[in-house]
Structure 1
Amino acid sequence: MEETIDLKNVFKMMWEKKLIIIITTMIAILLGFIYSYRLVKPKYTAKVQIVLVQIDKNQEKKTNLGALTQSDVTINDKIIATYQKLLTNDDVLTQVIQNTQIVDITPAELKKSTTATVVSNTQILDIQVTNKNPEKAAILANELAKVFKEKIYNTYGIDNVSITLVAETPKEPSNIHHMKDILMFTIGGIVIAIFIILLINFLDNTIKSPNDIEELGLNILAEFPEIKEMKQVDGNKGGNK
């Protein structure tokens, strides 16, 4: 019963202070709009896909994914991890920048904006490059795959990297999600409003009802009805002299 009463009191408290919730939520929504539409700078992500295959010396390398057999895809996990490291090697990134002649990015910045993930249970690598310019993102991603392929061949003397998906110029930014941003700000505003109301109630130690006295373990000796102020009406306009 106590939990039910407490819950009712909480809802009652929130309802009485609903103006705080409304104002705080509206402010949060406004901040969400400003953040999502004004403060976030759009960035574009281009993706190129490569596959690592085993080379059979007696036959040509198979580049068609549909033609790959189980024996073709036997690259060790450690080799894949090594390839992931080589992909963001400073030498590779520097070569990419030189080849593309994109001078407004450093190898460190390109490394930070590049991710390489292995598609689950495959030897496929998804390479993603993010940039403020969509055209540059696609150019850098494609050149990175090309330079990486050459790096593997020059380092190991094998040609087991095939580019299966060429990056296209992204049309939509990858870091802007207006509805998600505004929703997160809205939820944050509601949470802050609830916290403020609970804090106000916690700091308020005044007695507002007989129930507050009973919760302190005290007995109510008497309860006075609310007395409304009454205006005295003088029957004589002139009053008594």
Structure 2
Amino acid sequence: MFRKQLIEYIEILRNKLWIIISSTVLLLMISGIFSFFIIKPEYQAFSTLMIGKPKGYYEAIEYNDILLSQKLVSTYSEIAKSRTVSNEVIKNLGLDITYDAIRKKVNITQVGDTGIIKIESRDENPEVAAKLVNGIVEVFMEKVVKIMNVENVQIIDRAEIPKKNIRPILVMNMTAAGILGIIIGALIVILIDYLDNTIKTPEDITKYIELPIIGMIP
């Protein structure tokens, strides 16, 4: 029974394949228009730092290295995103941006289980993204030494102007649009067939009226 119904649905989809194709092409076009003309490209720049442990930190808190690193990264992240650091960066670079905007653009992460942290920023302008990261790094290095009593902070990689945008991802958007177009088209075909109660084949008579076929007029 299930196999028969499956074959019927496949036949229905095949007979109205043009609806599925039209739906898919339409969504691909919409996705392309949004990706190329409406969604603004976003660029990401990053810098990595090696930060020494604060003086006497092991005597104060007895954690293992991984937990200690995670705790320190959280602390460093809040310092880098603090209003003090942001306001100084805005002043130094002459940026027309608010503290809240910087906090949303900047992200601080730990590189694996190492003592290296990664400061990254996203912006519609690749030059601004790189400038913002390097500006934060300079101010952060000065502040973290004073606040956390860190022995040394070294820059491993300075932020460079990104050449490629990270958003929108055209391939992913088009793939998602294509899959969605096929699904919507198939649902439309099935809905049309469900709402259609006309008799088209001899089998429909047996199926819906439950009467045997005794003859056919050519």
TM-score, shorter chain, exceeding 0.5: yes
Contact 1:149 1:159 in 2 (8 A): no
Contact 1:86 1:92 in 2 (8 A): yes
Which residue in 2 is equivalent to 1:230?
Answer: none
Q: How far does residue 223 in structure 1 lie from its aligned partner after superposition?
A: 3.5
Q: How far does residue 83 in structure 1 lie from its aligned partner after superposition?
A: 1.5
Q: How far does residue 221 in structure 1 lie from its aligned partner after superposition?
A: 4.8
Q: Does 1:164 align with 2:156?
A: yes
Contact 1:46 1:138 in 2 (8 A): yes
Task: Note closer, same or farther for the CA distance 1:149–1:75 as it changes in structure 2 (3 Å cut).
Answer: farther
Which residue in 1 is equivalent to 2:14?
Answer: 15
Task: Note closer, same or farther for the CA distance 1:218–1:146 as it changes in structure 2 (3 Å cut).
Answer: same
What is the alpha-carbon distance in structure 2 between the residues aligned to residue 181 and residue 34 of structure 1?
11
Stretch deviating more after TM superposition (7-16 or 202-211): 202-211
Choose which of 186, 193, 203 in structure 2 pairs with 1:211.
Answer: 203
Q: How far does residue 151 in structure 1 lie from its aligned partner after superposition?
A: 1.4
- Residues 201-233 of structure 1 deviation map (CA, whole Å, 9 limit, x = unaligned): 12122233343344458231524233xxxxxxx
What is the alpha-carbon distance in structure 1 between the residues aligned to residue 174 and residue 203 of structure 2?
41
Letter in 2 for 1:165: D
Task: Note closer, same or farther for the CA distance 1:109–1:55 as it changes in structure 2 (3 Å cut).
Answer: closer
Q: Does 1:108 align with 2:104?
A: no
Q: How far does residue 45 in structure 1 lie from its aligned partner after superposition?
A: 0.9
Letter in 1 for 2:199: I
Which residue in 2 is equivalent to 1:45?
Answer: 44
Contact 2:106 2:120 in 1 (8 A): yes
Structure exhibiting the larger radius of gyration computed from Cα positions: 1
Choose which of 187, 193, 196 in structure 1 pairs with 2:179.
Answer: 187
What is the alpha-carbon distance in structure 2 between the residues aligned to residue 74 and residue 219 of structure 1?
76
What is the alpha-carbon distance in structure 1 between the residues aligned to residue 176 and residue 196 of structure 2?
30
Which residue in 2 is equivalent to 1:176?
Answer: 168
Contact 1:21 1:194 in 2 (8 A): yes
Contact 1:53 1:73 in 2 (8 A): no
What is the alpha-carbon distance in structure 2 between the residues aligned to residue 221 and residue 72 of structure 1?
82
Higher helix share: 2
Indicate the percent of aligned positions where both proteins have the same amino acid: 29
What is the alpha-carbon distance in structure 2 between the residues aligned to residue 152 and residue 82 of structure 1?
10
**Higher RCO (CA < 8 A, seq sep 6+):** 2
Stretch deviating more after TM superposition (46-55 or 169-178): 46-55
Stretch deviating more after TM superposition (4-13 or 204-213): 204-213
Instruction: Provide the aligned C-alpha RMSD in A.
Output: 2.3
Letter in 2 for 1:159: E
- Secondary structure at the aligned position of 2:41 is classed as coil
Q: Does 1:126 align with 2:118?
A: yes
Contact 2:66 2:113 in 1 (8 A): no
Contact 1:49 1:124 in 2 (8 A): yes
Unaligned runs of 5+ in 2: 57-63
- Secondary structure at the aligned position of 2:109 is classed as strand
Q: How far does residue 74 in structure 1 lie from its aligned partner after superposition?
A: 8.4
Contact 1:54 1:72 in 2 (8 A): no
